[in-house]
Structure 1
Amino acid sequence: MNSLLLAVVCFVGYIVAYNTYGKFLARKIFQVDVNAVCPSTALQDGKDFVPTPREVLFGHHFTSIAGLGPIVGPAIAIIWGWVPAIIWVFFGSIFMGAVHDFGSLVASLRNQGRSVGDMASGLINNRVRTLFLLIIFFELWIVIAVFALIIGILFNMYPAAVIPVWLEVPIAVFLGYMIYKKRVNHHFWGIMAVIVMYITVIIGAYVPLKMPSIMGLNPIVIWVLIMFIYSYIASTLPVTTLLQPRDYINAHQLYVALALLVIGVIVSRPEFVAPTYNPAPEGAPPLWPFLFVVIACGAISGFHSLVSSGTSAKQCESERDSLFIGYGSMLLEAGLSTLVIVAVGAGIGMGIAEKGGEILTGTTAFTTHYASWATAAGLGAKLKAFVVGSANMMESYGIPVQIALTIMGVFLVSFAATTLDSATRIQRYVVGELFTAYKMPAMAKAHPATFVAVATAFILAFNQGFGLKEVTKGALLLWPLFGTVNQLMAALALLVVTVFLARRKVPAVYTFIPMVFMVLMTGWAMIINLDKFSAKGDWLLFSIGLAVFLLEIWMIIESLIVLKQVYGGPLAETEAKKA
């Protein structure tokens, strides 16, 4: 099939979905109130609660939820064929992911900007709040450790990205100063910041910086240590100092990258070389249920609910903006995943160089790169497939390969760093909420809570030692578990939103059906993973997975009891009297 036709159909579909199903949900189900006072105004503190223009907040929100998820997932899952991948991305994002993100944001706006885990206490009970916060802690624990490692690997793979990524920090700080202190026009200065950013990309392409070994430590390990220090500092600064302006720049960087990829698809119009449907690749887990776990962020992701309720709800200045930020950003992320599927399923066929220097094209390029699950599942392999496929399409209209590769390398590292920053900040909130619940207010403050967030991730990343092999074994092996935990949390976030709607006597079927689907698919995947971990003797993975699985079952039981009461028990009479 021609990739251009597929991309056009999908993008038109996303636009139609936003203007029909999205607006229906906003008007009839979540009943967005343009006159409501949002937490960003009611609780404004200049640090976390900050009323923010919707264009700026959209940039922060989108870059926080995107990260590498919508790239890595489709780049692996296409081994089952491009048709299953695109079907899940398209329909999953419209009817599940966007509903999940939008619902989490609105529910938090109506609950003082509290996280989806913290909201569970008022909507369900205090036990569920603690259960959910623990599940969130487990996920973010894995996210922070793994993404710090991924950034180290990316810097090592793409040394040309080092200068642009690190120069983006002072550029973002200056942009934040100009917007919030000097009150300049954020559109103009945002565009200027992006132009400067792309000048640094060109510099980086010709001046790559390779980290040397220091005191016997591998360069990747050094980068991981640097990223932990950076994430601590970045997550304790006011959002207007670095997080917001840098994400605003990254959002524009994404728009440029998407435009470059779209032009590449239009000009090159590559034919798909990936199989249409491949139900049993060598060594791969079953398509059902793992397609719905491997492709997370491009279709639905529990991490998004943490961003919606963890940071974005504290910055949203009007409920009117919630549809654009929550539902719209998820569909744009699905658009990114659509282009990833095109890049790895069609663009790779335009040519990929092997280690021996041989250039493979057409179906051979794909089948060699995706010969088995083992070759396709490696981090380097899936990132290379996306970068090379994208660079091929960009080269078709004159962008030099070296520049194209640097652009995509910077794109990957920037979005991974954004996820790391946001995850650390949200983990600080979660740790603070847990310490507050257990009457330890001193530990709930910004620096003690951030220290706990970073220190626990540090222990996880280096639990096997500081050698390259040990670090890879200690943190990267947790990646399979991350996917399942992440999707289970999406189901639980939908469960909380379902209770939120039920208590308001609003039809909850639009969140209940996606919740049931995700519980079944990801619960099934978790059971398979637990069996595999047990058989291999991976007791760390087994213990974390089992703990999360049991917490999830407990939370679902507690929530279903409340739902039953809301719809027919004594609680229903109480709610009716309140109404």
Structure 2
Amino acid sequence: MHLLAVTLYSRDPASGRLLLHAMPVMVVVLCCLAIAYRYYSAFLAAKVAALDDNRITPASRLNDGQNYHPTNKWVLFGHHFAAISGAGPLIGPVLAIQYGFAPGLVWLVIGVCLAGAVQDMLVLTASVRRDGKSIAEIARHELGYPAAIIASVAILFIVIIALAGLGFVVVKALGGEEVKLPPGMTVTLPDGAERPLPQPKPGERDFYTLPPGCTVRYSDKSAASNRPEAFTVSVPAGTPLFAQGDIPKALDEAERLADRGGGTTVIAPVRTATLPAGCTQVVPGSSWGTFTIACTIPIALLVGLWMYRIRPGQVVEASLIGGFLTLAAVVAGNWVPGSPLERYFSLTRDQTIVTLGVYGFIAAVLPVWLLLGPRDYLSSFLKIGTVALLVVSVCVANPALQAPPVNEVFLNGGPTFPGQIFPFVFICIMCGSISGFHSLVSSGTTPKMIEKESHIRTIGYGAMLIEGLVGVVALIAAAALPSELYYAINVPIDQERRYQKQLDEVYDRYGVKLPPEANDPAHAANVDAPAHLDLGKVEEKVGGESLRGRTGGAVTLAVGMSVVFEQAFRWLGVTGEWLLKYWYHFAIMFEALFILTTIDAGTRIARFLFQETAGRVYTPFGRPDWLPGAALASAVVTGGWCWLVHTGSIMTIWPMFGIANQLLAVMALALVTTWLVNHGRGRYAWVTIAPMLFVCSTTLTAGVKVVLIESGKDTTVGYLNAGLTVFVITCVATLLFWSAARWLTVWLGWGKPDGTPNPHGAA
């Protein structure tokens, strides 16, 4: 019994706080997901969707070798999972830790089983039955042309914003970023270090590279901390950080000494710099991650040619070759930083945007079997393999969840995500539970590649369950970090003073309290456990990376993953200072790859949407295999989201993106319900109406709050955010009422459930 108790929970000896362990949580989650797949998805397949392998799928009937192409179930599973699994399941749960781990955990498990996986599977079924058409075309078939126009405008708008948001995260991860530093922050050079000289670069900025060992004080009230790594600070041009001293005063002193008969005046160098307003810390990009991701493109081309041209049908051979080469690229990437190759893969922000845009355009135009499918299939190896390794590592290491179940200090919002726990925890955690973006994949590339209808259950429902599992392991990895470390990374440096009082309360309630012997070197081995890591130690262990103020969740997740991996491998007897560094950079690359595969599939989906809409004006545009139309549509879509990323205006729209994404899920569930009703399966409409009503209630509540907050700012940006949110809400509400009218028409006997409404819009 004692062993069981130790496995389930522990008690912090200093604070007396009861800490739940991660392994039992993971086991319960895995059981819930397995039960949902075994029973609920079987019910959906047999009764609700009525899947039948005797039906010929559009992939076979319309096979053109370009967009419609029958694909092996597991290859398509990899493509679909890679396409739907973007930043949401990784970043959302990490940010939601500020509310505590329990709300996010409950929403992830219940939401993915009863809402997200249901949406993905049934939208995929409806699209396969409609020749692989998009959500907008399904709206046209089920509700008429006016509904299709409303859906097309809303969806195209949302998907470009989504791609810009995802692209922005990739650019920050691979192309580096600049972290704002608070005015008044002081930096003191270590003894014996030479004063750094400014390194002017084109533009209006000077750059100072500060040596390791600097003492930093972020505000006059904060404690001094040591920075074990070198770091670069960008300041307005002509701003001297370290002056030689008070030269006028020294000259006056020298003149007085001369009048008295001579003497020596020493001008002491200033070793402490006080930063003015407008300073930033420059964080370089990841050449390791860029190299590995770049390698997956030629590897994917080789795998595609191997499966369909060199050795047709030899999926296992191609998988083994691709998997081996992908793992080799991951290992080889470790040698790129510091090598002559680094300058080719350490890209600037603008270079990363251009490279990302070119890749998105090419992936959207090339035949799906040549690049997109094989690359996503290979990426899924790394994604699913890493997730499986995380699950096993969590069970082996069994870390204590340092975050509280419910954080009472930040119930009304905090530094990682604004807004109250209800409804914003449901907006913060999007893709891990339910995401409208998934409905675009389920009615975009995937239905055009389904070989048999029975594959829909595995691909639609199963892939979404895996994404929910991704969200759970991300949440556990972040919850296992000490509160002090979590908030040191996630609080913007220039906002530290604003949240200092609340942070002190969090540390007092939920922080790690080291025993008195912690300062005794003789006891260091006993108290320096992963739960007691501070920011300085972690920065040193990951190779001198700067982590403070690296907001957005990606860096926090990388640190959490690396700590869990290190603990698990320590149980297996594998130790070393290099271990945490390796896992940290591996996690950064893993996150970027996770998001990038959503961008290439999303760009192709947006291209289909654009072509379907433009095809109503010029018929050839509506043909996916018409190369001029495909190229022009891809260029417009890619140019749109690249421009948003380049100008940074995505930051003006990001607060409403989560709401728009969830409203898209409401739209998808409403249209699937209409499809069920129109085809005589209205008795099963509750499987989609129930999650639709819940998501609608939480999202509309959040939408109203965002509109009031943004419009109250009385700024152009605020009015833009409010206007865009109102636009999306209006479009979705219109389609929702339109769909409800159709349901009532059939249920009251005023119309036939034959799936053929008036094409001009009558319900």
Compute the TM-score of the two structures, normalised by the length of structure 2: 0.69
Which stretch has the larger CA shift, 429-438 or 565-574?
565-574
Instruction: State the partner residue of 1:383.
Output: 554
Instruction: State the partner residue of 1:516.
Output: 693
Shift in Å at residue 22 of structure 1? Answer: 0.8
d(CA) in 2 for partners of 1:132, 1:575: 18
Q: Is the 8 A contact 1:151 1:417 kept in 2?
A: yes
d(CA) in 2 for partners of 1:574, 1:277: 49
Q: Secondary structure at the match of 1:481?
A: helix
Q: Which has the larger radius of gyration?
A: 2
Q: 1:453 aligns with which of 637, 643, 649?
A: 637
* AA in 1 matched with 2:361: Y
Q: Deviations over 1:394-418 (max 9, x none)?
A: 1220372232123212211112111
* Cα distance, 1:439–1:381 mapped onto 2, change above 3 Å: closer
Instruction: State the partner residue of 2:367.
Output: 238
Instruction: State the partner residue of 2:293.
Output: 165
Instruction: State the partner residue of 1:95.
Output: 114
Instruction: State the partner residue of 1:4.
Output: 23
Compute the TM-score of the two structures, normalised by the length of structure 1: 0.90
Instruction: State the partner residue of 1:228.
Output: 357
Shift in Å at residue 361 of structure 1? Answer: 5.6
Q: 1:561 aligns with which of 741, 745, 751?
A: 741
Q: Is the 8 A contact 1:352 1:388 kept in 2?
A: no
Give yes or no for the alignment of 1:306 onto 2:440: yes
d(CA) in 2 for partners of 1:575, 1:259: 42
* Cα distance, 1:384–1:52 mapped onto 2, change above 3 Å: same
Instruction: State the partner residue of 1:109.
Output: 128
Instruction: State the partner residue of 2:723.
Output: 543
d(CA) in 2 for partners of 1:532, 1:437: 39
* Cα distance, 1:86–1:565 mapped onto 2, change above 3 Å: same
* AA in 2 matched with 1:485: A
Give yes or no for the alignment of 1:177 onto 2:352: no
Q: Deviations over 1:11-52 (max 9, x none)?
A: 111011100111011111111112111110111111111100
Q: May I ask how many residue pairs the two structures share in their alignment?
A: 558
* AA in 1 matched with 2:658: G
Instruction: State the partner residue of 1:55.
Output: 74
Instruction: State the partner residue of 1:423.
Output: 602
Shift in Å at residue 527 of structure 1? Answer: 1.4
Instruction: State the partner residue of 2:542.
Output: none
Q: Is the 8 A contact 2:360 2:600 kept in 1?
A: yes
Shift in Å at residue 281 of structure 1? Answer: 4.5
Instruction: State the partner residue of 1:505.
Output: 680
Q: Is the 8 A contact 2:350 2:646 kept in 1?
A: no
Give yes or no for the alignment of 1:413 onto 2:597: no
Q: Deviations over 1:193-248 (max 9, x none)?
A: 1222122212212212666899xxx9112201211111111110111111111111
Shift in Å at residue 352 of structure 1? Answer: 7.7
Which stretch has the larger CA shift, 343-352 or 76-85?
343-352
d(CA) in 2 for partners of 1:348, 1:197: 34
Q: Deviations over 1:355-377 (max 9, x none)?
A: 99x999638869xx9xxxxxx99
* Cα distance, 1:291–1:364 mapped onto 2, change above 3 Å: farther
Q: Deviations over 1:273-326 (max 9, x none)?
A: 011012334463011111111111100000001001111100011100000000
Q: Is the 8 A contact 1:148 1:228 kept in 2?
A: no
d(CA) in 2 for partners of 1:545, 1:96: 23
* AA in 1 matched with 2:387: L
Q: Deviations over 1:486-510 (max 9, x none)?
A: 0000010000000011112212111
Write out aligned runs for 1:4-403 (5 A).
4-155=23-174, 156=176, 157-182=285-310, 183=312, 185-208=314-337, 219-278=348-407, 279-282=411-414, 284-347=418-481, 362=531, 380-396=551-567, 397=569, 398=574, 400-403=579-582
Instruction: State the partner residue of 1:467.
Output: none
* AA in 2 matched with 1:290: F
Query: More strand per residue: 1 or 2?
Result: 2
Q: Is the 8 A contact 2:666 2:732 kept in 1?
A: no
d(CA) in 2 for partners of 1:527, 1:363: 41
Q: Is the 8 A contact 1:352 1:361 kept in 2?
A: no
* AA in 2 matched with 1:47: Q
Which stretch has the larger CA shift, 562-571 or 292-301?
562-571
Query: More helix per residue: 1 or 2?
Result: 1
Give yes or no for the alignment of 1:492 onto 2:667: yes
d(CA) in 2 for partners of 1:461, 1:271: 38
d(CA) in 2 for partners of 1:348, 1:450: 45
d(CA) in 2 for partners of 1:347, 1:256: 23
CA RMSD of aligned residues (A): 2.9
* Cα distance, 1:135–1:363 mapped onto 2, change above 3 Å: farther
d(CA) in 2 for partners of 1:574, 1:169: 46
Q: Secondary structure at the match of 2:751?
A: helix
Q: Secondary structure at the match of 2:430?
A: coil
Q: Is the 8 A contact 1:347 1:393 kept in 2?
A: no
* Cα distance, 1:71–1:349 mapped onto 2, change above 3 Å: same
d(CA) in 2 for partners of 1:58, 1:316: 10
d(CA) in 1 for partners of 2:354, 2:755: 51
d(CA) in 2 for partners of 1:499, 1:570: 15
d(CA) in 2 for partners of 1:389, 1:441: 51
Give yes or no for the alignment of 1:432 onto 2:611: yes
Q: Deviations over 1:149-181 (max 9, x none)?
A: 221111134332111110110011001000011
* Cα distance, 1:446–1:543 mapped onto 2, change above 3 Å: same
For structure 2, which runs of at least 5 residues remain unmatched after alignment? 1-19, 177-284, 494-518, 520-527, 539-546, 624-628, 758-763
Q: Is the 8 A contact 1:351 1:362 kept in 2?
A: no
Q: Secondary structure at the match of 1:88?
A: helix
d(CA) in 1 for partners of 2:134, 2:548: 33
Q: Is the 8 A contact 1:70 1:336 kept in 2?
A: yes
Which stretch has the larger CA shift, 535-544 or 494-503?
535-544
Q: Is the 8 A contact 1:424 1:450 kept in 2?
A: yes
For structure 1, which runs of at least 5 residues remain unmatched after alignment? 370-375, 464-470
Which stretch has the larger CA shift, 541-550 or 490-499?
541-550
Give yes or no for the alignment of 1:525 onto 2:702: yes
* Cα distance, 1:269–1:499 mapped onto 2, change above 3 Å: same
Shift in Å at residue 262 of structure 1? Answer: 1.9
* AA in 2 matched with 1:561: A
Shift in Å at residue 62 of structure 1? Answer: 0.3
* AA in 1 matched with 2:729: F
* AA in 1 matched with 2:392: I
* AA in 2 matched with 1:492: M
d(CA) in 2 for partners of 1:566, 1:455: 43
d(CA) in 1 for partners of 2:78, 2:309: 20
Which stretch has the larger CA shift, 4-13 or 445-454?
445-454
Which stretch has the larger CA shift, 534-543 or 553-562?
534-543
